[in-house]
Amino acid sequence: MPDVLTHYVTSYLISTRFRDEKTSLIIAISGILPDMDALLGMHRWVTHSIPLTLPILLLIYLLMKDKWRDLALITFLYELHLIMDLFTGPTPILWPLIPEAYSINLDLDAILGNKVGLKGFLRVNPSPVNFQVHSVVEGPVISNGGALFGLLALVLLAAERLSRANVRN
Ligand SMILES: [Zn+2]
């Protein structure tokens, strides 16, 4: 999985495009909800399946129509987590419709020298679904990449706030 910080910060940044900063602190929690399966000793369990989670989220959406904007945002952030996980490890994103987990490898390198160009690949890797319960589940809460992304997000939000303050003055 991308680290928890990356999931949260990504969700927070997207949420602030639609809601105020305080509300976004709460809405962004939806971006880390899929990983609650780790509390049950399993990571990338059915909480990481779009065919299982999307109908539940849509049902909640139908029951609480007056909050449709927030629920649409929460649903989007929840499902975005599953797509982000595809880039770091096998995720049962289409289970049980397709009984495999998938991961994506993406790499693009620049070639500079006597020739200039790009080389790379995009691979979608199927693997067996593994819903085995573990006594210990380990996963990154904050990684180097997540810390860098979090710092970048803070700078971006601070710059945005300064920009808004300048417009008002
Ligand atoms: Zn996850």
Q: What share of the chain is helix, strand, coil (3-state, %, to 5)?
A: 55, 15, 30
Residue 151 has pLDDT above 70, yes or no: yes
Compute, in angstroms, the gap from residue 110 CA to the centroid of ligand 1.
30
CA of 43 to the centre of ligand 1 (A): 7
Task: Kindly report the pTM of this predicted structure.
Answer: 0.86
167 C-alpha to center of ligand 1: Å? Answer: 39
Among 37, 84, 79, residue whose Cα is nearest residue 56:
79
Q: How confident is the model at residue 134, as a pLDDT?
A: 87
Report CA(71)–ligand 1 centroid distance (Å).
Answer: 20
CA of 126 to the centre of ligand 1 (A): 17
pLDDT tier at 63, thresholds 50, 70, 90: confident
